[in-house]
């Protein structure tokens, strides 16, 4: 664990992570579930810092069946996914609560939308500073540096503060 930055709280069998466990990754993603021979195995859930989660059945470290739920409660459905597709461009909150009256546009799934710092862009998983080309999450923690393609996409398509 000291080499990966992860933290393990759980049972061991013959020195290997095995049984019920809580595994915290350096990204602050948390796995709660069953382990076998040092990998996710059995039923378990990944909790992401964004508030979303992935409930799955794992086999030797691979998810063989699972469901993803966004932070706002929207469940991803691989077969019947119609959220924000070519036929229905409504946000999930609009599907739940209805559309606003004419002239009152909803710009994001969050209503009201989050406040973007002046000169920055909201790129969906954090704020982007086009001067430093750094993306930080909404709690001001470093996520990544944007390459040329991502920089171009963000400045062309994302909301600016």
Q: What is the pLDDT of residues 53-64, one digit of tens each?
A: 999 999 999 999
Q: Phi/psi of residue 52, each to 5°? A: -85, 170
Q: Spell out the alpha helix ranges (H) of 2-159.
A: 92-97, 148-157
Contact 92, 110 (CB under 8 A): no
Measure the CA–CA gap between 130 and 138, rounded to whole angstroms.
Answer: 16
Contact 46, 29 (CB under 8 A): yes
Q: pTM of the prediction? A: 0.58
Q: What is the pLDDT of residues 28-70, one digit of tens each?
A: 999 999 999 999 999 999 999 988 999 999 999 999 999 999 8
User: Which CATH code is given to the segment(s) 1-98?
Assistant: 2.20.110.10
């Amino acid at each position: 664990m000291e080499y990966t930055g992860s933290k393990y709280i759980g049972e061991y069998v013959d020195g290997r992570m095995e049984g019920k466990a809580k595994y915290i990754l350096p990204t602050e993603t948390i796995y709660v579930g069953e382990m076998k021979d040092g990998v996710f195995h059995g039923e378990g859930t990944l909790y992401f810092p964004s508030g979303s989660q992935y409930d799955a059945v794992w086999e030797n470290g691979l998810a063989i069946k699972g469901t993803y739920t966004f932070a706002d409660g929207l469940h991803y459905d691989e077969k019947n996914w119609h959220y924000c597709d070519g036929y229905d461009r409504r946000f999930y909150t609009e599907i739940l609560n209805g559309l606003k009256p004419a002239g009152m546009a909803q710009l994001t799934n969050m209503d009201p939308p989050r406040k973007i710092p002046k000169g920055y862009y909201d790129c969906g998983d954090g704020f982007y500073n086009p001067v430093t080309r750094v993306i930080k999450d909404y709690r001001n923690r470093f996520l990544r540096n944007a390459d040329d393609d991502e920089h171009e996409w963000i400045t062309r398509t994302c909301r600016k503060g």
